[in-house]
Amino acid sequence: MAKADRLERVDMRREELGAEYRDALIAALRVTAGGVWGLFGHKDDRWSRANAQPVLDRLEELAGDIDRLRDQLAMDGFDLHQAFLGARGRPAADAVGEPKQARAWLDRMGVAP
């Protein structure tokens, strides 16, 4: 019984952190959709990197905590963070800009920009 209670608490914490991650990502996506570049790392200038770094650090911290909890529960990795990491970096020459990319992410997540 104690193990089941512990696993239930771990799962509840995982869900709380997942919601916190989602909220932080949505807030960052809204800022980016509003025209502030840096979240997706399209530009390699110092200002964009420095501007986005606190948000990226927070998302990475939350994702690490979530992954550790998911590992305790024998679950696969945190897909939302992996998808976000996959969307970052230098885009193709014909790719949309970060604001449009952020709006597309918000649409997929079912939230208004």
Give the C-alpha distances (Å, rounded to integers) separating 71 from 4, 64, 67, 74, 97.
16, 10, 6, 5, 35
Within a domain: 30: no
Within a domain: 9: yes
Within a domain: 98: yes
Question: What pLDDT, in 10s, does the model give residues 71-85?
Answer: 999 999 999 999 999
This prediction has a pTM of 0.92
**Domain enclosing residue 101, as ranges:** 2-17+46-109
Average pLDDT of 100-104?
96
Within a domain: 36: no
Looking at the 3D structure of the chain, how many domains does it have? Answer: 1
Within a domain: 35: no
Within a domain: 74: yes
Question: What pLDDT, in 10s, does the model give residues 48-72?
Answer: 989 999 999 999 999 999 999 999 9
